[in-house]
Amino acid sequence: MAEPTKVYRNKKIVDSLIKKIKEESEKTEEKIRIMHVCGTHEHDLVKAGLRSLLPKNIELIAGPGCPVCVSSAQDVDEVLWIADNHNTTITTFGDMMRVPGSSESLYQAQGRGIDVRIVYGVSDAITIAENSPEKDVIFFSVGFETTSCVTAAEVVRTTLPNFSIYSSHKVIPPAMELLVQRDDLEFQGFLAPGHVSTIIGSKPYEFIPEKYNFPVAISGFEPVDILMGIHSLILQINANSPRVDNTYGRWVKPEGNTAALRTIDDAYVISEARWRGLGVWPATGHEISDKYSHIDAKKKYDIPELEFKELHSGCICDEILIGKTKPNECQLFMKACRPDHPVGACMVSHEGTCNVAATYEEIQWED
């Protein structure tokens, strides 16, 4: 059996899919804009140079799919408030260190003596808590369903008195609904994220074609995967026959990972969530359920209402995150804001739209 990467990066298969996409794109005079909602898609499609291979009338736009980028400055500020006012160790993913809060990032706070540590995941944070019972340890957890399900497993079983979780989790399908409803965005289909879909399945997207007559294709991350998703969307758009097409069937099942979903349902409740620069979006967050309030840092600490500032002067991450503007249209791009000195959240993570554009130095966006 051929190695999977040899199949999914196979030049002949890629060429044949590009040809099919081109043929289908020639059946319409209209421009077709496809939005993905996944930082991994943005990274992997730019790395593979896929935008440059597509016909001129097909445009791929990046939606709010990078979990680090969409995390609100308010969340960073609140975690820092806890650290400033209690004897704590803050733990989080490496990418979160440089995400700007209103006045400083966790990395900057570490420089003034705040105990902030990078962990690979929640279990590392728990180990730190076990080894330092005299200190409160907080895991600042961000991410979509792919990540939040791992944290959920610890929410439901961890009883360490000195450990809690600050949840900044987001939920993808309701966010997609809000994007479809926006009058200021023009796009005709969603490329849905394969890893999130491995957890939630394909069913949670079904309301999108049913209610909004809007196509969805679930896609993996190799070049062949992404092109299969794009091809499916163009077929659906041309035939005016929207549905949820699962082109990542080797991992995604209609019902998803039922064990993970049971844990998520037990650990969290759906809540509103603040998205960086985009305001509060209803029903797009996962807060820890009251049943597990002992582990909820937001309930454990009496956090006051803090004034916060989502975007630093000149940063247009709010527009970048919904694909309205391209990174090279930001006046700070690769000037004041660079991967080694990010001004905005979209430049921090290797999955952030601005970081991807800067890293691969090839802005493969339509003029």
Q: What are the tokens at 349?
A: 């993570």
Query: Shortest gap between Cβ of 149 and ligand SF4 (angstroms)?
Result: 28
Binding segment toward ligand SF4, per CB under 6 A, in 89-97, 109-117, 134-142, 315-323: 315-323
Segment 321 to 350, residues that bind ligand SF4, using CB under 6 A? 327, 330, 332-333, 337, 343-344, 346-347
Q: Which residues does residue 141 pair with via DSSP β-bridges, in sequence order?
A: 167
**N-to-C CA span, the chain:** 42
By beta-carbon proximity to ligand SF4, the closer residue of 62 and 264 is 62
- The answer to whether 354 contacts ligand SF4 (rule: CB under 6 A) is yes
Query: Shortest gap between Cβ of 66 and ligand SF4 (angstroms)?
Result: 11
Q: What are the tokens at 248?
A: 């990542």
Distance between CA atoms of residues 42 and 66, nearest Å? 9
Residue whose pair of structure tokens reads 């490329």 in the numeric block: 191
By beta-carbon proximity to ligand SF4, the closer residue of 139 and 365 is 365
- The answer to whether 179 contacts ligand SF4 (rule: CB under 6 A) is no
List Cα–Cα distances, 59 to 30, 168, 216, 238, in angstroms.
11, 31, 16, 15
Residue 208 φ then ψ, to 5°: -70, -50
| Closest residue to bound ligand SF4 by CB | 344
By beta-carbon proximity to ligand SF4, the closer residue of 72 and 257 is 72
- Radius of gyration of the chain measured on its C-alpha atoms: 21
Query: Shortest gap between Cβ of 199 and ligand SF4 (angstroms)?
Result: 28
By beta-carbon proximity to ligand SF4, the closer residue of 257 and 349 is 349
Residue among 29, 269, 234, 257 at smallest CA distance from 150: 257
| DSSP string computed for 301-324 | S-PPP----SS-TT--HHHHTTTS
Q: List the one residue from 320, 326, 349, 351 that touches ligand SF4 (CB under 6 A).
A: 320
Would you say 243 and 215 are in contact if contact means Cβ atoms under 8 Å apart?
yes
Query: Shortest gap between Cβ of 341 and ligand SF4 (angstroms)?
Result: 9
Distance between CA atoms of residues 165 and 297, nearest Å? 5
By beta-carbon proximity to ligand SF4, the closer residue of 179 and 337 is 337
In the sheet with 216-219, reading across from the earlier edge strand, the strands are 58-62, 32-36, 189-193, 216-219, 244-246
By beta-carbon proximity to ligand SF4, the closer residue of 149 and 343 is 343
**String marking each residue 272-311 x if it binds ligand SF4 according to CB under 6 A:** ----------------------------------------
Q: What are the tokens at 67?
A: 């979990």
| Nearby residues of 19 by Cβ (< 8 Å), 6 or more positions away | none
Tell me the site size for ligand SF4, rule CB under 6 A: 15
By beta-carbon proximity to ligand SF4, the closer residue of 224 and 316 is 316
Q: List the one residue from 46, 171, 316, 356 that touches ligand SF4 (CB under 6 A).
A: 316
Which chain residues interact with ligand SF4 by CB under 6 A? 314-317, 320, 327, 330, 332-333, 337, 343-344, 346-347, 354
